[in-house]
Chains A and B, each alone.
Chain A
Amino acid sequence: MMTKQKATLALTALLVLGVSAGCKKKIPPPPPAAPAPIPENTAPAVRPTIAYFSAEPSTVTVGQPSSLRWSVTDATSISIDNAIGEVSPNGRRGVYPTATTTYHLVATGPGGTTAADATVTVSSPPPPPPVQAAPQPTIQEILAKQVQDIHFDYDKSEIRGEDQAILQGDASALRTVFQMDPNFVVTIEGHCDERGSAEYNLALGDRRAAATKDALISLGVPGDKLKTISFGKERPLCTEPTEDCYSRNRRAHFSAAQ
């Protein structure tokens, strides 16, 4: 019962108020109480606040991105130099500096201007990777790897049938060598196994070197770029008394002329 009475009273009061307000022009009311001030207008103006302005990572190499991040309050205008321009109060922007760069953020508001810097340090780049483009073998590499020994039968200086393919490979590689360096000269060394006499083998090694030279000339290798020398059996590759070692030593070997 008590509650019903209070509500009725409050409703009546509101009604009176509303009627009186609607009739303001008609009846000049007493000046109303001052309205609550609007905060913007009423609070004292403050300078913008830059919560943070950073670059992550702060150190990069050329070509790597760094991310600028910032957060600003109380600003009406925010801009970053280095061709970035106006930005929103909170944001991030990837940058690709080619040299160490200091980014300058300026926040302007009714209370003034605030600035902050973020620096991206660009470290010197790592050494350039090795040139990948089709490595060109040197003349020495061609001589060592592509120009293979020619082998001979005992007491013989004729090029064997099974060595013809090797000889053609040698001719091709040697032509390449002389194209790369027209002044290069190759020595063909004639060698023998240890069984014959040293004297006869000196002359036999000479025949092996000469036969190899002649065969290469017939395959188009310029003869004036080929010298021959016999080492007989004075410079063996191996010294075991086995047929395998003997056959390895019976050879024409190629080397750069001295």
Chain B
Amino acid sequence: MRTITLPLFSLSFLLALGVASARQDVSGRVEKGGDKPFVAVPDFRATGTIAPGLMTVFNSTVQSDLQSSPQIKFLPKTLYPLRVPQVPNDLAAGEAGANAKPAPTPGFRLADWAAPPTKANWVGIGYGAEDRGLFVVFGYFYTTSPTITDLKQAQAFGKVYTGSLDQAGAVDAAHHYAADILAQFGGQSLIGSKIVFVSDRTGSKEIWLMNWDGTDQHQITKYNSISTFPSVSPDGHTVAFTTYATGYPAIQLFSLDTGRKLPFYNQRASMNAFVSFTPDSKQVVFSSTAAGGAAQLYIANADGSNFRRLTNSGVIEVEAKINPKTGNDLVDVSGRSGLPQVYKMNIEGTDVQRLSAGTGEATNPAWSPDGSHIAFAWTKGFEPGNYNIFLMDVVSKETVQLTANEGRNENPSWAPDGAHIVYASKRGRQSQIWVMNADGTGKHALTQTGSNEKPVWVNAEK
């Protein structure tokens, strides 16, 4: 994928303002939505002899990406003006401002998009074409702000996107165009990020990897055993998981770069499982029965050496998750108060406090990238096993429910943008991987084949 920046005359101070306010919105009230910018992107049309399906794929992918973003509100296309501009020249120069008169057939003036019923703050226009065997999209993005009367100043960006002349190329171009739009509002691009998960579609549970949009699903392990409970190092290089391949549940590490096994020394124990990496990816915390009794938390180097005990509670301690922002504290799931609850402690295993309310069972905690929230699975007042995804402010312990009446929902994991959550939803006999915005909107499934569970969003930084 290549992008070329076209001549651009955007007002950088306005964008800086917009980004700042959007970031505030996301980090401060991620669960509530709120005053999001209204964005309209009418369908792009094709010029020339391009395969008819490609623009359909492009338009639906852009719409899906924008709809599933917590940064903006994507306006329904039924509200759009009838005339749709496709290139900057279609826009009537000098008529973008608030004083512009309505045209007989509205649409070619930015003011038409700002007016009811559309009421868009921003509008994206463009078109697709075939150029020397490539799929090419010209994509533009304008503010409809009435205070800006100059069309060139109103343009946030205009770019050329090229991809292969097939569906994959159209999807790729759409992801990049949508990412450029979301970047105007502080949205971090997920392009290139991947999701590790567990699938039984070969007949036994194996570790799998896919792109964040559900494409290119492929198998990493081939043990024909039980391989599950994956986690990924923050540097994105290593996936750790628990496998029965050697007889007992034990930890294994695979390189996501080479697909090969990495050295890890397992303590002699009936189980070693549930790895969490420190932010520098150099150490791991995991659960082990090495000392006998209930599984306890231990810390070790990333190869299993320098093994030290963290907890000594006498009850089950599993699912340690180290704060990715500070590295100084962790959450885990503990039986200290009976049924499993989410607890927080420092990286030494001391200063233990319960985060979850104590009712029902609370499991699967997952830190937001900024360390301010955890997503977790909670039965709350429901019967055992009826889990839903909740969000908790780690300081105030206030919770917001993100899923309801949609089967059993577990194992949330945050996208690197802090705005999306991938999770497993069992709505029938089989579990599938779903993704949603961190405010609970925009839910859609990424997998369909076999039973798929325990997704972990891989940090794209490498």
Contact = CB atoms under 8 A, between A and B. Distances in A.
Contacts of B410: 197
A199 B364 CA distance: 8
A197 B376 CA distance: 11
B159 interface: no
B340 A196 contact: yes
Given A200-B316, A203-B295, A229 B270 contact: yes
B270 A228 contact: yes
Contacts of B453: 198
Contacts, number: 84
B226 A234 contact: yes
A199 B361 CA distance: 13
B249 interface: yes
Interface in B372-425: 377, 384-385, 387, 410
Contact of A200 (B205, B248, B293, B318): B318
A195 interface: yes
Given A197-B340, A198-B453, A200-B318, 12 more contacts: A155-B339, A195-B385, A197-B410, A199-B318, A200-B340, A200-B361, A200-B363, A202-B229, A202-B249, A202-B271, A206-B271, A229-B248
A228 to B, nearest CB: 5
Interface string A199-210: 110111011011
Q: How large is the interface on B (under 10, 10 to 19, 20 to 34, 35 or more residues)?
A: 35 or more
Contacts of A195: 384-385
A184 interface: no
B309 to A, nearest CB: 16
B447 interface: no
B246 to A, nearest CB: 11
Contact of A197 (B249, B270, B294, B364): B364
B147 to A, nearest CB: 53
Contacts of A239: 429
B162 interface: no
Interface of A: 154-155, 194-200, 202-204, 206-207, 209-210, 228-231, 234, 239, 258
B363 A197 contact: yes
B273 interface: yes
B3 interface: no
Residue among A195, A200, A239, A258 with the highest chain B CB neighbour number at 10 A: A200
A230 B271 contact: yes
Contacts of A154: 384
Contact of B270 (A194, A199, A210): A210
Contacts of A231: 226
A80 B225 CA distance: 79
Interface string B334-362: 01001110000000000000000000010
Contacts of A155: 335, 338-340
Nearest to B364: A197
16 contacts: A197-B361, A197-B363, A198-B229, A198-B453, A200-B318, A200-B319, A200-B335, A200-B340, A203-B271, A203-B316, A203-B318, A206-B270, A206-B271, A210-B270, A210-B292, A234-B228
Interface string B135-171: 0000000000000000000000000000000000000
Say whether chain A's binding surface is mostly helix, strand, loop, or mixed.
Answer: mixed
A200 B385 contact: no
B9 to A, nearest CB: 54
B312 interface: no
Given A197-B377, A198-B229, A199-B229, A204 B385 contact: no
Residue among A197, A199, A202 with the highest chain B CB neighbour number at 10 A: A199
B318 A202 contact: yes
Residue among B292, B339, B340, B410 with the highest chain A CB neighbour number at 10 A: B340
A198 B431 CA distance: 13
Interface in B313-336: 316-319, 333, 335
A218 to B, nearest CB: 16
A196 B383 CA distance: 11
A206 B294 CA distance: 8
B205 A234 contact: yes
A207 B293 CA distance: 7
B247 interface: yes
Nearest to B287: A203
Nearest to A204: B316
A210 B363 CA distance: 23
A132 B284 CA distance: 62
Contacts of B188: none
A206 B271 CA distance: 8
A234 B451 CA distance: 13
A203 B339 CA distance: 13
Nearest to B316: A203
**Which 3 pairs show the lowest CB-CB distances between chains A and B?**
A195-B385, A197-B363, A203-B295
Interface string B286-303: 010100111100000000
Interface in B255-310: 270-271, 273-274, 287, 289, 292-295
A231 B289 CA distance: 14
A229 B385 CA distance: 23
Contact of A230 (B229, B249, B339, B454): B249
Residue among B270, B287, B340, B361 with the highest chain A CB neighbour number at 10 A: B270
Contacts of B333: 197, 199-200
B315 to A, nearest CB: 9
Given A200-B316, A200-B333, A206 B385 contact: no
